[in-house]
Amino acid sequence: MTIGEPASNQQPRIAAASNPDSAFKRVREWFWRGAALAERRRALPEPSARAIVLAQRAQGSADLALGSVELARGADLARSALTAAEPSETVAGASSCELYRQSVYWGLCALASASDESAGTNYSEATWDTLDEQLLLTAVGQHRVEELRGLLRRGSFVSFAERSPVEQQALAAELRKLSESLLAQVNQRRLAVNAIVWQRVRRLSLFLLLALVALGVSVWERATREDRNDLAEGKAWRTSSRLDGAGCTSPEQVCAESPGFFFHTLEEKDPTVEFDLGRSREFSVVQVENRKDCCTERAFPLVVEVSDDHKQWRAVARRDATFTTWRATFAPAQARWLRLRADKVTFLHLARVRVLP
């Protein structure tokens, strides 16, 4: 509390700071920018239909001017070297100057249409008088302002064509700068609104990216958690019998030589696979993946048994139906050895066994 400030004045501030709804709204506004967008639209009036048409003419003329030189250069490449003709750059330079001049004129008409719906319906030299001095200063230095204003008022593609290519290039650059400055004014509302919309897109994209990264990390963590916590990983295993040339070598459970299963017993009564966990460990889940390519019915009934002395075995889970993956859960067991036993006369072959805390 500020010294000398009544306690009652502090309450709204404390309440606002601790209000979760207020914090949520601020975060939502930072991403969505709804209030800022509405405020910008209120501050800048919607252009009339006439203003939009004139703005399109201004932009179209500028676009044509920008492309005219490139088009002319492309045409030059297609010409025969024996053809005597005026260099295309000279023609294009004059054309681009005239097009930029037209862009400026249409831009002035678009600004004037806010108060005059007839703006741009007829050519009027008075339109050039509305050109802001500051825009001219932005395009050229003080010493060129009057000359450029005169060229705008009295210039034409004929007078521009009479200038040298160097003069045309310099004048086109000045007129282009003036056109771009004027178009920024004409499109002020659209540019301002688009800036906020793009800010929204960037921030929402950032949020989405962070969410996807968080989701990816979560999925990766869940996917690798069992591998990281697997007590059977790297532990030696042995089987009650072995089919010649089939399966991996202990302690591997994944090998290129046997992609469908990591061991394969002979057909016998109660075939088993047994794991030595190295020391007495506590676990409550055994996840079994059945053979991948065929014969899943051979692996049931399947019994999970544990032992701490390798003599006395205790059953902790049993599966009496066929399965692809069986996640056996039971009360925590303390044991060093784990055994999976098929409770019948059969072959036994499994793709993976995980032992989890």
β-pair partners for 307: 337
Residues 89, 72: contact at Cβ < 8 Å?
A: yes
**Dihedral (CA of 155, 160, 166, 170) sign:** positive
Q: Token digits for 128?
A: 């050039």
Q: Token digits for 94?
A: 């004059």
Q: Which of 35-39, 68-72, 225-229, 331-335 has the lowest mean pLDDT?
A: 68-72
Q: How confident is the model at residue 191 (pLDDT cuts 50, 70, 90)?
A: confident
Query: What are the residue boundaries of the structural domains of the chain, listed by start?
Result: 44-186, 237-356
Tens-place pLDDT, residues 236-293: 999 999 999 899 999 999 999 999 999 999 999 999 999 999 999 999 999 999 999 9
pLDDT confidence of residue 16: 47
Q: Token digits for 234?
A: 């790297």
Residues 237, 273: contact at Cβ < 8 Å?
A: yes
At the second CATH level, the architecture of 237-356 is: Sandwich (2.60)
Q: How confident is the model at residue 78 (pLDDT cuts 50, 70, 90)?
A: low
Which of 62-66, 82-86, 113-117 tops mean pLDDT?
A: 62-66
Tens-place pLDDT, residues 96-109: 999 999 999 999 99
CB atoms within 10 A of CB 231: 19
Average pLDDT over residues 63-67: 90
Tens-place pLDDT, residues 6-28: 555 555 554 545 566 788 888 88
CB atoms within 10 A of CB 88: 19
Q: CA-CA distances (angstroms) from residue 171 to 25, 99, 147?
A: 52, 12, 11
- Identify each DSSP E strand in 209-260 by its residue range: 237-239
Average pLDDT over residues 123-144: 88
pLDDT confidence of residue 123: 92
pTM: 0.53
Q: CA-CA distances (angstroms) from residue 253 to 197, 300, 303, 341?
A: 54, 20, 20, 17
Tens-place pLDDT, residues 225-239: 777 889 999 999 999
